[in-house]
Amino acid sequence: MARDRLSVAQARRTALAAQGFADRRPAAAPSMTHLKRVIGRTRLLQMDSVNIAARAHFMPLYSRLGPYDPDLLHRAAWQPGRGRRLLVEYWAHEAALIPVSDWPLFRWRMDEFAEGRYRHTREVLRRNRSLVDDVRSVIETVGATTPRAIEAELGIEREPGAAGSWWQRGEVKHLCEAMFAAGDLSAVRNGNFVRHYDLTERVVGRDTVALRPGRAEAHRELVSRAAQALGVATVADLADYYRIRPADARPAVAELVESGVLHEISVDGWRDPAYLAADAPMPRRIDAAAILSPFDPLVFFRPRAERLFGFHYRIEIYVPEHKRVHGYYVLPYLLGTDIVARVDLKADRKNATLLVLGAYCEPGHSRDVVAGRLSADLRTFAGWLGLDGVEVAGRGDLAPDLQRMMHGG
């Protein structure tokens, strides 16, 4: 019998299980099968270029599987070799890796972005429509390539620092971005996170490109996927997962309720109605311990993180240093069913050390217990990053306890 009410504790366990935190971690080295299992839970990996510790798209796999070979993700998304490409990049939540089979579900967004995603890009496209065919022709001939290489093929020269130079603004880059947003081009990344643009049919396959689900059908499918990934969620949560307008998400939610895919319920303390995925598991206990990316789908919608975990979280990368509360690149720490701490981390690759610039315990949790578990997980994390050790600075109420644990206290 479907439930009609959940406590916050039940909602947490449901959400964590939906995101894969109740799954047993691999006993041996994680394989492509394990990667597929995680993607089956999260449905997407948000991407980000910041590499202060580890790039965001590599972290959700680590948080759920433990140390794994990053080459798994490279093979799944960018270097499939003789295997089948599993993931492709598109504007899903933000820039994200999604299953190739989900790519057609964003055709409606590609139609909206037919003239480019951003105003300046649209302006560049209007000025340079005749160049679009030239860009496509180069890519068709040479394969996946960069805007700079396309410029070289077209004989476009840009003098570094030339004030007012028409090409100094990188119009070819903007055109590639516009064509990517419209679905005409796709992209693969190299080891330095540089996009190489290619014809979409060569990345996702002609059969996938040919699929064109209707807008309402796509919204319904995406909301269903979001519901499976979240377990229990409000309309706002479901809409945010793939950045669908709430006005478009509501009819999809209503259809999914009518068909039995979702059940409308209430969660203690939540103002808005919630929706429970019909087959969402609710384990009696979850023993997860995980360092999370700021862009992990468990927490990337900040209102949900606060409502579900009582965790007020803002990333402070763009906050002036003197105004930051916790630090530049702060990662939440999940222990059991609670987010119990946050740590400001930096990989000092020159000195092979993971720097803990700040460590803060969340209210109501034992600093001794948290420091004991977190210290071990930081050592493991450092090892996965190829670093030799961990150094804890003095900032934050958890730092002294963490320093003591690191020194065997």
Residue 169, pLDDT > 80, answer no
Q: Quick one: which H or E segment has residue 262?
A: strand 262-267
Helical segments of 291-398, H only: 302-309, 367-384
Q: Are 40 and 87 in contact (CB under 8 A)?
A: no
Kind of pairing between the strands at 389-395 and 353-361: parallel
- Distances from the Cα of 133 to the Cα of 116, 129, 136, 175, angstroms: 16, 8, 5, 10
Instruction: Specify the pLDDT at position 159.
Output: 61
- Tokens at 287, concatenated: 């023993």
Using an 8 Å Cβ cutoff, are 246 and 236 in contact? yes
Q: What is the mean pLDDT of residues 211-233?
A: 98
The sign one gets for the Cα dihedral 128, 132, 134, 135 is positive
Ranked by mean pLDDT, which of 3-7, 157-161, 269-273 comes out on top?
269-273
The pLDDT, as a whole number, for residue 204 is 97
- Straight-line distance from the first to the last Cα atom of the chain, in angstroms, rounded to the nearest whole number: 50
167 pLDDT exceeds 50? no
Mean pLDDT check: name the lowest of 142-146, 150-154, 183-187, 361-365: 150-154
- Which element (helix H / strand E) includes 334? strand 330-335
Q: What is the CA radius of gyration of the chain?
A: 23
- pLDDT exceeds cutoff 80 at 389: yes
Mean pLDDT to the nearest integer, 199-217 = 97
Contact assessment for residue 77 and residue 97, using Cβ atoms and an 8 Å cutoff: yes
Q: What sign results for the dihedral spanned by CA atoms 88, 345, 320, 168?
A: negative
Lowest-confidence pick of 171-175, 179-183, 244-248, 263-267: 171-175
For residue 183, pLDDT over 70 is answered with: yes
Which tokens belong to 279? 């087959």
Query: Distances in Å between the alpha carbon of 58 and those of 33, 212, 223, 241?
Result: 16, 30, 24, 18
Q: Which sign does the torsion angle of CA 14, 295, 383, 77 carry?
A: positive
Q: Does residue 166 surpass a pLDDT of 50?
A: no
Tokens of 141: 């001939």
- The pTM of the full predicted model, rounded to 2 decimals, is 0.94
Say if residue 165's pLDDT is above 60. Answer: no
Q: How big is the CA angle at 184 (ends 156 and 174), to the nearest 5 degrees?
A: 40
Percent of the chain with pLDDT strictly greater than 90: 84
Residue 160's pLDDT is 60
| Predicted pLDDT at 407 | 82
What's the average model confidence in pLDDT over 343-368? Answer: 97
Asked if pLDDT for residue 219 goes beyond 50, the answer is: yes
Q: Please report the pLDDT score of residue 158 as a whole number.
A: 67
C-alpha–C-alpha distance, residues 342 and 121, integer Å: 37
pLDDT value for 408: 75
Residue 38 above 80 pLDDT?
Answer: yes
Mean pLDDT of the chain: 93
Query: Per-residue pLDDT for 189 more than 60?
Result: yes
Q: What is the pLDDT of residues 117-137, one digit of tens each?
A: 877 888 888 887 888 899 999
Task: Quickly state the pLDDT bin for 1 (edges 50, 70, 90).
Answer: very low
Provide the pLDDT for residue 318: 86
